[in-house]
Amino acid sequence: MENTTSKVVIITGASSGIGEATAKLLAKQGAKIVLAARREDRLQAIVNDIKQEGGEAVYFTTDVTSQQDTQELAQFALKQYGRIDVLVNNAGVMPVSRLNELRVEEWEHMIDVNIKGVLYGIAAVLPAMREQQNGHIINVSSVAGHSVSPTSAVYSATKFAVRAISEGLRQEESPTSNIRSTIISPGITDSELINTVKSPEVQAMASHFSSLSISPYRIAGAIAYAIHEPEDTGINEIVIRPTAQSM
């Protein structure tokens, strides 16, 4: 926990689910939180919750599919706190469906949020972290980034990409810039991701997914663990899923 105190942490997708849980947990552990998402009312409410618990947090309304927004987010964090210690690239969407449903717009949206959003986040914070010669970028992938199942082809492709980007970042930056890279791959988690699904076939399975889901605070705890470790130690990848989940 000592390694988290006073660290400046940007969290995207912070208006609900894993992002919200991570913000609240890290704030309790003494981090300074910069929440980012599109829903300003939710961000404001979470900031208020954190402050009422004695934590420190601010927010910046951000669409991660906009490189300008993510650049402005990083500049906002630097203006507020003078440095960026951790970026949690958590924003994501999961409108899974079979390829033959031809939901091309949904494919493009997943690519924009899940891949480009991660890259834009890295591009926004990397210069400051390299100047500091210190930092930590945590990218949220998925168990779907380890294996593919029917309906998950495009979503899995985006999450495999997140893992590839994270490993490339580690190889390029950790040895020379002391920037740590962590991949978090959650299984079925209680979040709003299922709300992005439009495929009738997948919607019919929603209750089964819900019955297996674990609290987003389980994922937040894994993120906190990776941050807590001493600077000479990189927790490069964590897979965390419900005990009852088979895939």
For 87, phi then psi, to 5°, come to: -115, 125
Place of tokens 């965390």: 240
Domains and CATH numbers, the chain: 8-240 (3.40.50.720)
Q: What is the pLDDT along the chain (247 residues), one digit of tens a residue?
A: 668 889 999 999 999 999 999 999 999 999 999 999 999 999 999 999 999 999 999 999 999 999 999 999 999 999 999 999 999 999 999 999 999 999 999 999 999 999 999 999 999 999 999 999 999 999 999 999 999 999 999 999 999 999 999 999 999 999 999 999 999 999 999 877 677 778 888 777 776 677 788 999 999 999 999 999 999 999 999 999 999 888 7
Cβ proximity of 84 and 10 under 8 Å: yes
pLDDT score recorded for residue 126: 98
Q: Which of 85, 76, 80, 86 is nearest to 56 (CA)?
A: 80
Catalytic residue among 59, 81, 120, 155: 155
pLDDT score recorded for residue 38: 96
Place of tokens 């390829």: 99
pLDDT score recorded for residue 184: 98
Give yes or no: 155 in active site.
yes
Q: What is the pTM of this model?
A: 0.94
pLDDT score recorded for residue 56: 98
User: End-to-end CA distance of the chain, in Å?
Assistant: 32
Residues whose CB falls within 8 Å of the CB of residue 161, separated by 6 or more in sequence, listed in order = 114, 115
pLDDT score recorded for residue 2: 65
Helical packing angle, 216-228 and 17-28, nearest 10°:
50
Q: Which helix (H) or strand (E) holds 139?
A: strand 135-140
